[in-house]
Chains A and B, each alone.
Chain A
Amino acid sequence: MNYLLPERLDRLAREYVLGTLTGGARRRFERVLSQAPAAGRAVAAWQERFTVLSTSLPPMAPRNAVWQGLEQRLFAPPRKSAGWWRALGGVLAGVLLCTVVLRIQPGLIGLEPQAENLPASYVGLLTDSEGKPAVLASSRRHGRQLTIKLLQPLSVPSGRVAQLWALPRDGSAAFPVGVVTPGGSSTLALSDESEKLFSQVSRLAVSLEESPAKPGDKPTQPFVLSGHCIKLW
């Protein structure tokens, strides 16, 4: 059966999202979904449509135990100074990421962890489909190099390359940044100053392409890694 006929895809997608597609049919569609971007788009469109049906639901406040249980499960073991994390409430996410970055690789952006002034940089932390950090990319604000650090082995099938893409904030097409070499750290030469390339970029992503992308190329394969790209200054 050709699942990719638009009408058939739409019918499967809507029953999949609704939950009335069950058993073997559901599993087969999930396989299609993992491979065909068109299926993902059909599913996303139906999710958005069904959200309209949820607008009338009367709110129902969960008991406090739900949040307390979440904190316990996610952030245990309990610390002595329990108020410490709360005090961080107003701290910008970028600074948090930076802390992570510096702990992982203090020398990466040329700073001691205790330093108070950060050099202006762009940093991207790409995670795999399970949310595990996989690639750290960083560049000085006016730098023309992008430093790539692999945080876990990157498996690239033979005949493919791990192409890094930048995804602009406004949703316009991704543009190629360079090829990530599997194994250790590497440095990519940028086509322009990172400030010019990345100031409007909100995400970075990696797809396994058949050949390195040229300027103007678009991704032809699904993203295997992705993550936010943020400014630090």
Chain B
Amino acid sequence: METVLVISGILAIALRSATALLYTILGEIIAERSGVMNLGLEGMLLSSAMIAFAAAYHSESLGLGVLAAVLMSAFLAAIFAGLTIFFQADQVLTGLVLFIFGSGLSSFLGQRLGPGGATLVGLAGPKFSRIPIPILSEIPILGDLFFNQDIFLYALYFIIPVCGFILYRTRLGLNLRAVGENPITSDTLGLRAQLTRFLAVVAGGAFVGLGGAQIALSYSPGWTDGMTSGRGWIAFALVIFSTWDPGRAVLGAILFGGISALQFRLQAIGLAVPSAVLRMLPYIFTLVTLILISSPRFLKRAGIPAGLGRNFIRGGEKN
């Protein structure tokens, strides 16, 4: 019984920690499914977290904080999308620039958006608390685990299946995937590859913003420099690990989301795995996944979107 409690305790933490991660993974899945690879996730996450807290603190409205985060992240995504999709800039390069810009921006503004231009560090603003769902939260063990969480996680209970549904069972999803697999053919068939990609990246950005909001307003309320703990990078890796599937993304996020928090619990059971080693796992697992799916047997089914990372431009005017 004790082990069960310990495990469920670990899972609970994992879930909470995984929330922001999952939003970010989802956002990037949408972008990558359309064929665009965004290395600037961490920058977007940092900036949106920062602005979420700043907005919520000053307006004392949580809603405004979330909105600010979504807008900030979508805005940064739009810059990225504009540069890579319309200005044909290299995706890797632009992603890194976005990362630098985003982290610089969050650090800079974080030290200036406090009251009177002071830093945001140490301030206490409004925050989301856990909302136990009546009745369901009283189920032994599972209740506390799944139904005593914050609203962001509850939202994911709907968002993830909906994303999966849209991706695989709607025309929208089909078109998105087509553009990611073969932008040239899709565009010829009338799907407007560039526009689709742009919208996908910006929509993905919105999701990342929600992740940022969750960190700043629920998971670790407040602001410190670098508060995302590299979740943007982990998410990037986990998109691949989940083979671009929202359902499998859940697995990845839970497995690795609570890694750090996990460490203390593991020590308690007597498994002293160094934190650094635990944190390596998402990357190692992703690398292994990549090796597996790169073999021709897998490529045709659960593969990398064939057009990922390559820019597309309609071949000039049709003469």
Q: Do A and B come from one complex?
A: no
